[in-house]
Every structure is written in structure tokens, then in C-alpha cells.
Chain A
Amino acid sequence: MMSANNEMHKVDHIRCSHVGEHCATSPGPAKIVVRDFHAGFGETQVLRNVSLDIYPCQRLAIIGPAGGGKTTFLRSLNRLNSLEHDFRHSGSILLDGQDIFASNVDVARIRRRVGMLYAVPIPLPLSIYENLTYGPRLAGIRDRHRLDELVETSLKSAILWDEVKDRLREPAHNLSGGQQQRMCLARVLALEPEVLLLDEPCSGLDPISTAKIEDALDELKSRYTVVLVTNNTKQAARASERTAFFLMGEMIECGPTAVIFTNPRHGRTSDYITGHFG
């Protein structure tokens, strides 16, 4: 534990030297701007007063204890929550300056631009190929070559191509759990989204599959804005540039991962990170 902390200190120094102080130092304008966001279901208030900037081509990790509203926050970013009849919210979420809750937005288009990967792999009851082309077809892509190309590139990005290139017509549930989750990642990538939301994508996976997913994310960070919810603080430390800590519906703090993990401003953040929580 000690040595890990020391390691992080070093990383912190290197990062801080060219990234500088937290939120102010952003590479360009924010991709997603969340302001005074409150959300809840019916009578239960789940998120309170969340304000957060998410920058392009960076990975933001969201950590925090169970029930803190991380999933609810993530599902607000692509308006998946709006499917719950009793969902209500106030405040704003801007994607490239556009309010995603405005009455005239095309929700399906928002969801294509902001793709999501769930905690457990959920292959649709279709073949691997059909799973991957499900989104692009709905987006209106009919051209076979274009679809084939999308399938290949997204499977390669998810480090799955070599394993499945000869069995694309097989039912997707024939794949192993780890392969299924990478297929789900590829399925999102085939939409060519701008933002990737990942809700504890490795929580059900073995270390090797986890490593593969993390490798894939590492490759992807240069092209996508990534928001990664994770219960695994080590993963957050490894696989993100910035980290936000959510506690009981509030965002306690947000900053460069190295700072959050070594020098958090709030006692509760450090309690959580060092495992003294509760």
C-alpha cells in the first residue's frame, strides 16, 4: 500500500509538471458541460447539484461508494434515464454546447453520439455480425462494404477481431463472458460515437479480460471522450486522466487523477481511496 502510494506520487509529479493544476488546465473547451444538475426518480432524489466538465480525448473516472448515483449520472449523459417514467431533473447538460434535454433534440442521435457500455455484457440475441451492425443500420447505413468495414475496425479496436473473425455469423451468446464484453465495446464503437460511457465495464470480468478492455481503452483515449465509472480505485488510478468522486448523490471533488489519489482536498475522498470508508 505504501509503495503504491509512493508510485503515485511520482506519477503525480510527472503529470502535474505538464498538466498543471486541476480543472483549469483543460485541453481545449469541454465536450460535456454539466451545471447544477439535480436528478431523481419520483420522490427519491438521487443526484444533487452536480457541476462537472468533461474534456475531449481524456478519460474521466468516476469513483464512489455504492448507491452514490454514479450510474444515474452516466445514464443521464445519454438520456437513457428519460425512459423511466418518473425520472425528473433540473440543471443542464450541454454536449458541444447543445442542451441534450432541450425539447427539440433527436434523442436517438444523442445516444449514438454518446455510446454506453454496461456492467454486464448484454449481447442481443443475434449473431455477432448483427450485434455489431445493429446501431449503424439504425443510423441509416445500408452499404454492405461500409458495414463490413465498421465491423472489422471496431472489432480490432476492441482487440477481438482475431478471436472472432471466422465466426461472425455465430450467435453472440456463444462467446465467453470476457469476449462478450469486448464485443459489446465493439458494438458501441461501431456507432462511431464521440463520447464513451462505461459503467463498471470490468466488474464481472477476470483480470486478463479486464486487462484487454483497459488496453483497448488506452488505445481509444486519443479519439474519444471517455467516462469510466469504476468501483476499483486501482483501475481508476491506472486508466484515467481525471477523476471525480461521488458520494451520496453529490460530487465531492474532481481533478486530475494523480491529485485526487495523492492529495485530495476532502477527507472523505482520501478515506474512500485508502479504504477507510464508512
Chain B
Amino acid sequence: MTRQAISNPLHADEGADNGAPPPQINAPRHRRQLRIPPDVAQRIVVGGLWAIAMSAVAVLLFIIVFIMVKGLPHVTPEFLLQAPAKGGRLGGVSPMIFGTIAVAGLAVLIAGPIGVITAIYLTEYTRESKLTAFIRFGADCLAGIPSIIFGLFGFVFFADTLGLGISIISGALTLALMVLPTIIRTSEEAIRAVPAAFRDVSFGLGSTRWQMVTRVVLRSALPGIGTGIVLSIGRSISETAALMLTSGMVARHPSSVFDSARTLALHFFTLSREGISMPKAYATAAVLVLAILMINLLAYWFMRRFIARVR
């Protein structure tokens, strides 16, 4: 029995799963002794798990270091301030930086208020009901839709049906829909984290619900809401598939929100995929990754402030 269990761990495992319940409380230890001792198994498994976790960190570090090492030397002031020339082989990325800021900023300006208001409604102005379940379900579904579908939708709806054209505003509206679930979810969590006692106090001092929401709840929840907004900006900056179909690929400085604008991420995609210029591609990637790093730092800072506030 002992020998069989050792030579055939698979069989032994089956036995353990289907076997009769152990007769005594401390039986597991006794039973496991027949195979790999539990403390050894523990050490092996924990070692493996740590290797997995460390490999995730390693991948992240590798990506960042690789892009920075290859790209940063090419990130010069001219690169940041000049327009691209010869399809991106020469020049810089200033129209793309501008376009990225315009599209992402506009998207968050649109989605921010709508998302926060939805969160306020869900948390402060209603109780759990079929309606709130429906709204949450809708937000969850929206969050799961792939960006290329958003792109298709923005293309037919905003650009075509509404006649906004392939433009910054079409891209921003599409992105706004994409980041809305994130903003709703994070705002809701931030608002729920505000101690319930603040509400009692505010009402007790003669406030209306709206006054309570704006003067106490939002004020405390603001850094938490900020985290969600900053992460949404990050998501907007990273987005490519949806913007390819809505805000387009024109590599010029846009003159209004109805102009097409190529974002940094799309520019990077074009440069690397079409093999136009590897140095410029690396440099663009470096700018992109730096922006994402800074945004995540900002989100982290907001988070710390939020925790300090609702502590």
C-alpha cells in the first residue's frame, strides 16, 4: 500500500479524494505521511507559486526596462516638439501627443460626470432593487465588451449616423462609453467607503440629501473617485483598436474636435507594424510607457489620500 502510493501519486490522490472521512480529527497528518510529507509539499508548492508571482513581476520589469533602454535615447526635445515627416521616419510625435491628450481628456470629461452621477444615484438616492440590479448588470456588460466592438459601434453610430465623422469627438465619445463602467464602479466603491455616520451627522445638522452628498460624501470620496478617473485616462491613452476606427490615423495637428487625430498608441502601432522606423517606434513606446507609469503613480497617490481620508 505504502509503496504503491509513493510510486503512483495519481492513484493515491484519487484515494484521498474519494476515501472515507478520516476517523480522527488529526487524521490528515497521519494519512499524508504515506506520501510526500505535508511540510515538503507545502514548501514545493509555495516555491512554485512564488516563482509564478515573481515571473509576473519579472515580465513587467522586462517590458519597462526593455522599452526604456531602447527608446529613451531617441526621446529628444525635438522628438517631443516636432511633427512627423516622411510617414514617421523623421521628425517627432507632437501632433500625436496633442491628439492623445485631446481624445483621452475629452473622453474622461464626458464619462466622469455621468459615471459619478450614476454612482451617486446607485448609492445615495435609491435602495437595492430590480432597477439598480439592471443598471449594474448593464455596466458589467459594458465593461466586458471588447474594444474592437466599441470601435465598430463608434464608427457607425458617432462617425456615420450622427455625422461626427472620423474625428476626435467620435473617438472621445466611444472611449467615454468604454471607461464609463470603470468610473461607475470605482466611484461607487469610493462613496460606499464613506462612513455611514457622516450621513447621520449631516442630516442631523439640517442638511438635505443633496447637500449631504455634495458637501460631505463627495468630498470624502473625491480621492477614490480620482483613482478611477486617472485609471480611465490611462486606459484611454492605451486604447488603439477602438480609436483606429473612430478618431482615425491622420498624422497632422488637429484644428478642432471634428478633425481626425492619430494617438500615440496608434502611431506606435503604425510605425512598428509597417516597419517604418524602429528607433522612432521605440521612442514613441517609451513616451507611452512613461505616461502610463506616471498615471499609475498618480492613481496610487490618490488611493493613498483616499485611504487616509476615510480611515
On whether the two chains bind one another, the answer is: yes
A85 touches B203 (CB 8 A): no
In the complex, which residues of chain A have a beta carbon less than 8 angstroms from the beta carbon of B203?
Answer: 80, 83, 111
Known contacts A85-B127, A124-B201; A112 and B219 CB within 8 A of each other: no
Within the complex, which residue of A111, A124, A184 is in contact with B206, where a contact is CB–CB below 8 Å? A111
B216 touches A138 (CB 8 A): no
A112 touches B206 (CB 8 A): yes
Known contacts A78-B204, A134-B205; A125 and B197 CB within 8 A of each other: no
Within the complex, which residue of A116, A118, A138 is in contact with B207, where a contact is CB–CB below 8 Å? A138
Determine if A182 is an interface residue (Cβ-Cβ < 8 Å).
no
Determine if A13 is an interface residue (Cβ-Cβ < 8 Å).
no
Give the dominant DSSP class at A's interface: mixed
Determine if B137 is an interface residue (Cβ-Cβ < 8 Å).
no
A191 touches B205 (CB 8 A): yes
B208 touches A108 (CB 8 A): yes
Closest to A82 in B: B203
B205 touches A118 (CB 8 A): no
Determine if B215 is an interface residue (Cβ-Cβ < 8 Å).
yes
Number of interface residues of B (CB under 8 A): 21
Closest to B309 in A: A125
Q: In angstroms, how far is the closest chain A Cβ from the Cβ of B201?
A: 5
B219 touches A116 (CB 8 A): no
Closest to B199 in A: A83
A108 touches B200 (CB 8 A): no
A122 touches B208 (CB 8 A): no
Tell me the residues in window 72-94 of chain A with beta carbons closer than 8 Å to chain B beta carbons.
78, 80, 83, 85
Determine if B198 is an interface residue (Cβ-Cβ < 8 Å).
yes
Tell me the residues in window 193-225 of chain B with beta carbons closer than 8 Å to chain A beta carbons.
195, 197-208, 211, 215-216, 219-220
A138 touches B206 (CB 8 A): yes
A positions within 8 Å CB-CB of B? 78, 80, 83, 85, 108-109, 111-112, 115-116, 118, 120, 122, 124-126, 134-135, 138-139, 184, 187-188, 191
Known A118-B200, A122-B195, A139-B206; 19 more pairs at CB < 8 Å: A80-B203, A111-B203, A111-B206, A112-B206, A116-B204, A118-B204, A122-B197, A122-B198, A122-B200, A124-B202, A124-B216, A125-B198, A134-B202, A134-B205, A134-B215, A138-B211, A184-B201, A188-B204, A188-B205
